[in-house]
Amino acid sequence: MKARKLPSGSWNIRIMINGKSYSFTDPDKRRVMRRASEFAEMCHEDIDNPKLIDCLEKFVEERSSSLSPSTIRGYNSIIRAVRSKHEAIANKRIVSLTDKDIQAIIREIDSPKTQKNYVTLIQSATGRKFSPTFRKKLPKEVAVPSDLEVLGLIRLFEWSEMEIPVLLGAYAGLRRGEICALTIQDLDGDYIHINKDMVLDDFGQWVVKEPKTPSSNRTVLLPHHVAERIRKRGHITNLHPNIITKRFISKQEQLGIEKPYTFHSLRHFFASYLHAQNIPDAYVLRAGGWSTPHVMQKVYRHALDNVHLEYEQKAVSAFQIPFQDKYPQT
């Protein structure tokens, strides 16, 4: 950084930062050099040590073309919350952030999963590692309707716009978004091709896109009567996922059901019922489009009661028959 003396007798320094030229003039040589130096340091601090909120916004903006609409929507929701509820921390330089700051951001969040989503985004955007304390996740009861209850739900929506979604949820394990994205062209004989998903974009509009994971892209063989029902109706559904959820619960509430099942519980039934029929896990995993067996196996704990009792008797018999002659009767 070199100062030059002007014909007026003042001193001038010109510096370039990010392609922009900045000029400083002062009668005092030392003062002009100090001003230019402080300005340069401030500019480099903004570049190398930005504010948290700027980091978050830049991170999402740079990945807007590669992330799913739902992921972008979730990230932007986090950014808005950090900016509005934690303004002081949002404007801190990233090198100054502490675990205490991150803990303050997530303290009022009830869900451990949501807390982790916040921290994951902050760590990814800043390139720093934080170690806040997360809430403990309480075991959540997985609601799985019985086979008789599922038949009742199917009859409840028979011949309505909800009939096909309910059949596909119960007998094929499809998710709401997968069902809503299907067209009649995806039906090939008794096979249904799941190759797209309906999600909300960043503007709150429903859009059809590719599945989030490769495992969700699959082909499932439907029960013949379900495929025939679809062909008879001539379409899958004109509803979007939120309407399916609302109608599914609302209809049950109208009948006085105190704890109505969610639409996703049909997917739980699909996995649980197949498992109870001794269908291999690998098939259930693939047919349901699960990327890992964790969620699927959690549902297995809620296998149908009548099948559980049947297996219980088989388990007792397995030991009783070979060993009953080994011990004297009393």
Query: Residue 178 carries which DSSP code?
Result: H
Q: Is the pLDDT of residue 23 over 50?
A: yes
pLDDT of amino acid 186: 96
Q: Tell me the mean pLDDT in the region 34-60.
A: 79
Q: Is the pLDDT of residue 102 over 50?
A: yes
**142-187 confidence digits (pLDDT tens):** 678 888 889 999 999 998 999 999 999 999 999 999 999 999 999 9
Residue 266, amino acid: L
Report how far Cα 145 is from the mean position of its chain's Cα atoms.
24
- Band of pLDDT at residue 300, cut at 50, 70 and 90: low
pLDDT of amino acid 116: 94
Q: What is the CATH number of domain 147-309?
A: 1.10.443.10
Q: Report the C-alpha gap between 150 and 155 in whole angstroms.
A: 9
Q: Where are the domains of the chain?
A: 4-48, 54-126, 147-309
Least confident stretch, 67-71, 122-126, 162-166: 67-71
pLDDT of amino acid 330: 46
The pTM of this model reads 0.60
Cβ-contact 249, 259 below 8 angstroms:
no
